[in-house]
Amino acid sequence: MADESYPDDLRYHREHDWVRVEGDEAIFGITWFAQDALGEVVFYEPPAVGSTVSADATYGELESVKAVSDIYAPAEGEVIAVNEAVVASPGLVNSDPYGEGWLLRVRLANPDAVGALMDQAAYTAYLAGLGDA
């Protein structure tokens, strides 16, 4: 399992997904918090390359020994790559959620929209608030 972290170069979605913008493309994954809540991930069902994902909508599922969880897109765009390494070895999501455990590469429909997502400080404050709920 990876150590708890929330890199400050990412943007975060309230459903515990992250996005790393690279020009008009972005990489999506789930946060340390999400993988920790899921437990050992044993299956990843991604969308097809060429399909479109919509911001705030589900685009796939991660199954763990505890539960099946929908994955939410933090931004809208066309799927240009799926991390086949995670399809083959879903545990990469647990061991390296921000590196080898990435899930999708997307050509963003509106790269500027990513700016509306939480930064690292806002996301960690959001997580702290969840504990108070």
Note the pLDDT of residue 81.
98
Give the span between the Cα atoms of 31 and 19, in whole angstroms: 10
Note the pLDDT of residue 132.
65
Work out the percent of the chain whose per-residue pLDDT is above 90: 93
The answer to the question of residue 4 being in a domain is no
Angle at 97 between CA 95 and CA 120, to 5 degrees: 135
- Mean pLDDT, residues 92-120: 96
Side-chain half-sphere exposure of 113, counting CA atoms within 13 A: 16
The answer to the question of residue 6 being in a domain is no
- The mean of the pLDDT values for the chain is 95
Note the pLDDT of residue 131.
72
- Supply the CATH number for residue 57's domain: 2.40.50.100
Give the span between the Cα atoms of 55 and 4, in whole angstroms: 26
- Mean pLDDT, residues 101-121: 96
The answer to the question of residue 5 being in a domain is no
Burial 114-131 (b: 16+ CB within 10 A, else e): beebbebeebeeebeeee
- Mean pLDDT, residues 58-82: 96
Does the pLDDT at position 133 exceed 60? no
48-65 pLDDT tens trace: 999 999 999 999 999 999
Note the pLDDT of residue 114.
95
How many separate domains does the chain show? 1
The answer to the question of residue 79 being in a domain is yes
Structural domain of 106: 11-111+119-126
